[in-house]
Amino acid sequence: MNNTISWDWDDGKRAIADIGEWKSSYQWVEEPYVSPDGEKIAAVVKPPDDEVFTICENGALWENTFDKIWYPRFSPDGRLTAFVSDAGEWALAIDAQAPEEKFEFAWDTRFSADGKNIIHLAQRERKYYAVLNNVPWETGFSNMTGLAISDDGSRSAAVVQTIPFKEAEIFKFQEGCYSVAVDGTAWGRNFVNVWDIAFSPDGKRVAAGVRTSLYDYTIAVDGIPWEKSFASVWEPQFCPFDGSVTAPVRSAGSWLLAKDGKILWDRKFFQLWHHIYSPDGKKIAAIVASAFGRWTVAVDGNPWQITFGDMVTDAVFSPDGKRVACLGKENEKWTVVVDGNRWDTYDMAWQPVFSPDGKNVAAKVEKNGRCTIVVNGRPLKEEFAAAWNPVFSPDSGKILIKAIETGSNENKYFRRVMPITDISG
């Protein structure tokens, strides 16, 4: 589902809100957040002469106030969520409405791709739950981490502790006290440790990295571990077209990519992790160390020539699967890398975004305390006090810029749609 089709893609610039007015009107204004379509901007605020908090959205306050508010986030369909506390109890409010279901604490909001399903973690009476659309799992657990959700958001899973043990019960711990709970039901097998949960694209299967003993690591799929163990493993992924499971594994001092327990890439690396599939499932890219301390991206096992000494992160495929982009960091400076070719360097950069046709790449970057948007290596002329990730139009011909401006428009938030050619030529 493409949420961007119904957005306003008419060329032009619109003022949405004056953040400067907020700062002069309220005791406290926290970091603002912007909706995916750029039509809304919101921040937690503290009204004058009051000890409660609320949210200011496009200049208008929520009708309800709360003791505390944190982690405001817009869903993909434009709803504004935030954790709110009233009389010491927490809930996830959606568009200012807090549900009756309350918890001692709540955190980690997640959304389905279309935004219709909203999931978070919560704790009540020393038990932990995943909560789907404000309905908690029927079963709570004494420990829970690593929330994962299916693409459609209808299913959730997390690492849970199924057997209690005390600090001195070392042998009990080694027998395995952790598992994966899916929709509140734990797998029928326990492990020493569990991490990096992944759902299959259809949401029907779940895989995770597990430790079957103090020294043996492998991947478990629906609770069943691979037959072969390794010295270590990273996050598994399901292939989009054949249901197989791949994961980076460490064997004989090197890292390789394995598929269903067997080595897939015959090339060895000093490190290999964060692997991703192209949308059609025919290609795999991964962040690798092709030499000690030198990071790059490998596509189908073939590393780029360009390397970085600090890190490589945020790798992403183009929608057509033909291109890969990422961020590279060298000597504390960031750059965007597309198909092995680097852009200019910046103080900070954010995950690059491909246009739907895969021909253009844009990224938010920061230099000297100012942000801008770069398209195909060429920066927008304007610089901003703050900006959010750009979005390409469905036809790939335009780009949406969401930014708080400087100069004569100091602290004013604008939504702007412009042709890509105005930036990239």
> What is the full DSSP assignment across 302-338?
EE-S--BSSEEEEEEE-TTSS-EEEEEEETTEEEEEE
The residues, any chain, with a CB within 8 Å of residue 227's CB and separated by 6 or more, are 261
Closest to 225 measured CA to CA, from 254, 184, 266, 192: 192
Give the pLDDT confidence score for residue 67 in this predicted structure: 95
Give the pLDDT confidence score for residue 154 in this predicted structure: 97
Residue found under tokens 């957005």: 7
SS3 of residue 92 by DSSP: strand
The residues, any chain, with a CB within 8 Å of residue 60's CB and separated by 6 or more, are none
pLDDT in tens, the chain (425 residues): 467 889 999 999 999 999 999 999 999 999 999 999 999 999 999 998 888 999 999 999 999 999 999 999 999 999 999 999 988 899 999 999 999 899 999 999 999 999 999 999 999 999 999 999 999 999 999 999 999 999 999 999 999 999 888 788 787 778 888 999 999 999 999 999 999 999 999 999 999 999 999 999 999 999 999 999 999 999 999 999 899 999 999 999 999 999 999 999 989 999 999 999 999 999 999 999 999 999 999 999 999 999 999 999 999 999 999 999 999 999 999 999 999 999 999 999 999 999 999 999 999 999 999 999 999 999 999 999 999 999 999 999 999 999 999 999 999 999 999 999 988 76
Cα–chain-centroid distance for residue 9? 26
Give the pLDDT confidence score for residue 18 in this predicted structure: 97
Give the pLDDT confidence score for residue 35 in this predicted structure: 97
Judge whether 198 and 235 are in contact, CB under 8 Å: yes
Judge whether 310 and 331 are in contact, CB under 8 Å: yes
Q: How far apart are CA 328 and CA 8, in angstroms?
A: 33
Domains identified in the chain and CATH numbers:
18-333 (2.130.10)
Q: For residue 182, what are the β-bridge partners?
A: 157, 185
Q: How far apart are CA 53 and CA 85, in angstroms?
A: 10
Handedness of CA 280, 281, 283, 288 (dihedral sign): positive
Q: How far apart are CA 387 and CA 76, in angstroms?
A: 18
Give the pLDDT confidence score for residue 381 in this predicted structure: 92
Give the pLDDT confidence score for residue 50 in this predicted structure: 82
Judge whether 248 and 273 are in contact, CB under 8 Å: yes
What amino acid is encoded at 100 in this protein? E
Q: How far apart are CA 225 and CA 114, in angstroms?
A: 32
**DSSP letter for each residue of 114-161:** TSS-EEEEEEETTEEEEEETTEE-SS-BS-EEEEEE-TTSS-EEEEEE
* Residues 1-33 as b or e (16 or more Cβ within 10 Å = b): eebbeebebeeeeeebbbbeebeeebeebbebb
Give the pLDDT confidence score for residue 425 in this predicted structure: 67
The residues, any chain, with a CB within 8 Å of residue 161's CB and separated by 6 or more, are 141, 142, 143, 144, 177, 178
Handedness of CA 141, 115, 239, 241 (dihedral sign): positive
